[in-house]
Amino acid sequence: MSKLPQGQNDNQSDNGSVNKISDKQKISTLKKAVIDLREEKAQFIKTVQELTQKNINLTQEKSDLDEKYNSMIRDLQLQIQTLNTIQDKQRNTLVNSIGSPRSILQNDPLNNNNNFTKQIKQLQQELKQKTDDHEAQLQILQTGYKELERDLKSKDYQIDKLTKEVENKNALITQLRKNFDDVEKDLQNKIKNLTAERMQLQLKLKTIEKEIQQKEEETKVIQKGFDDSKFRIAQLLSELEETREKFLQYKLTLSNQFLDIECLLILRQNLFQEYIFELETSAQRFVYKASDITDLKIKDDQSFYLTVKARSRDEVFKLSPGQDIKKICKQIKNFLQRTQQSIALQQSNQIQSPKNNSLFGGIISMFGSASSKNGSNTNSEQKQR
């Protein structure tokens, strides 16, 4: 399976996280819209129920008013019939009482006439009183009937108005239900699409995680091989260092035959990969950086100057009597030149192969006359120890 670059994996993971966040926001927004529509639908249904209940109450109230009106009309008709019946009875009674005036006059003409007059007046007063009472009752009933008619008209207007409002609300509810169904279908389709996209992203994420895991395992294998190589290189360097020391020791023995000077000269590398120039006599040991030695001058027949950058004055080294100072200084200069060439070569090799820095360096020893070789060898062995 092909491996994706690390940057591409990061970009895909970032895009996946952004898509996840965007999908979650979309789903959250759609769910919120569905909840709002459901709440609005519930509110409209509640309003319709209230209006329906109010319409029912008004209809019942109208029915009660109609029943009350009919009852009042019936009562009024009964009262009118009762009044008419009473008037008829009173009229018949009056006629009956007046029916035999001759007999009354014959028996007691004067008394009967007075009684008859009083009775007629009394009956007339009672008839007028009852007529006035009935007219007042009739006026009250007519006034109540008119007020009832006005109330009925007002209730009819309110019922018509509420009926229109209910019809409008029903139409609005129907439209909202249709809109809600459309939105719900759209939301379901979007949720299905988002779910499919989410599953695809999860599959991609699992694939990327699997590739990352494989790369981590490969990296562990490579790191283990690298650690093993480092350990092997360290072993080889240790063996090489031992071989180099043995070689330099052998070279040290050979170099003792070419320079007659009562001191040991050593060139080596320190921990900072710098070449060190050492001059060691039986009495004192001097350590300089080879790159800091800038000049070598003859002082007299038995000594020479060594110019060092870090020193405020030149160092003086004295030779044993009978030694050729010019020859010795010339050989030392040649030695320093070779050292500088070795340093330049090392710097060039560091640019080309930085891992081979520890392979450079050396130890060169030069002793004086053949008579002092044994002492110089002793000093070299002490230095090596």
Q: What is the mean pLDDT of residues 92-105?
A: 55
Q: Is the pLDDT of residue 178 over 80?
A: yes
What are the chain's domains? 6-214 (1.10.287), 256-384 (2.30.29)
Mean pLDDT of 69-84: 73
Instruction: Answer whether 0.85 is exceeded by the pTM.
Output: no
Indicate whether 101 pLDDT > 80.
no
Single-letter code of the amino acid located at 16: G
Encode pLDDT of 188-209 as tens digits: 888 888 889 889 999 999 999 9
Average pLDDT value for residue range 92-116: 57
Best-predicted range by mean pLDDT (85-94, 108-117, 143-152)? 143-152
Mean pLDDT (whole number) for 80-90: 72
What pLDDT was estimated at residue 207? 93
Q: What is the mean pLDDT of the chain?
A: 70
Whether 97 shows a pLDDT value over 70: the answer reads no
Q: Report pLDDT for 218.
A: 92
Give per-residue pLDDT as tens, 212-243. 999 999 999 999 988 888 888 988 888 888 77
pLDDT, position 205 = 92
What value does the CA radius of gyration of the chain take, rounded to a whole number of Å?
68
Please report where in the chains the tokens 């939105």 appear, as a residue.
Answer: 183
Share of the chain above pLDDT 70, in %: 63
Q: How confident is the model at residue 354 (pLDDT cuts 50, 70, 90)?
A: very low
pLDDT tens sequence across 312-351 = 666 676 666 666 777 777 777 777 777 777 777 777 776 6
